[in-house]
A and B are shown apart, each in its own frame.
Chain A
Amino acid sequence: SSELTQDPSVSVALGQTVRITCQGDSLRSFYATWYQQKPGQAPIVVIYGKNNRPSGIPDRFSGSNSENTASLTITGAQAEDEADYYCNSRDSSGEHHFVFGGGTKVTVL
């Protein structure tokens, strides 16, 4: 099975823009889903597919994809965006085989 690689941490000034990347071979075949996880809570989907936001997710969250890399951008980061962010995709090993990235801790300064 494949792996997804994320930078462990990134910081962003309040109101500024931050981009988180995720690299892996599975992304050549499948789009990434991005999750936000705050301490003590289950993850929630913030971006899926080409660049789609579930209802209730602010439009400052956006996604992009290129070859083996997926990116999550937060434009105008807010204090409440401080969290761990994980990418995830299906894997060609099986119909319901998925893989997660190691996660990126986003700190809003």
Chain B
Amino acid sequence: EVQLEESGGALKQPGTSLKISCAASGFRFDDYATHWVRQRPGRGLEWVSGISWHSEDIDYADSVKGRFIVSRDNAKNALFLQMNSLRPEDTALYYCARETARCSGGTCYPVIDYWGKGTLVTVSP
């Protein structure tokens, strides 16, 4: 069974840093790109960052570029998000998610398919 479990969420002051983690199990972690997606309280889903299986392709949303750093440790089946210069608008539930190629009728589509339950990051004075 595919499982993703986030941890490390906390209450932080603006301008500080926090690193959150995601532990993966039930699948071959180093075969998949993985992502961070966040959801502010009462708001919609926002894609934050994605990292390829070999860490050579990394992408960020404009809202976090230059402040957040995504990384992974395939030996430990772990995904990380280093969040620097935190702002109140970074307050959100942060989900770890897996990207896969879902194939049907000979065509494959990139799909973010499995999600964790999220870890809450609160940024407040």
Contacts and interface: CB of A to CB of B under 8 A. Distances in A.
Interface of A: 1, 30-31, 33, 35, 37, 42-45, 48-50, 52, 54, 84, 86, 88, 90, 93-103
A48 B45 contact: no
Contact of A35 (B45, B50, B52): B45
B111 interface: yes
B102 A49 contact: yes
Interface string B95-111: 10001001011010111
B9 to A, nearest CB: 15
Interface string B31-69: 001010100000011110011100001110110000000
Contacts of B57: 94-96
Interface of B: 33, 35, 37, 44-47, 50-52, 57-59, 61-62, 95, 99, 102, 104-105, 107, 109-113, 115-118
A77 to B, nearest CB: 21
B104 A98 contact: no
A100 B99 contact: no
Contacts of B117: 42
Contacts of A93: 59
Nearest to A42: B115
B49 to A, nearest CB: 9
A97 B74 CA distance: 20
Residue of B52, B57, B115 with most partner-chain A CB within 10 A: B115
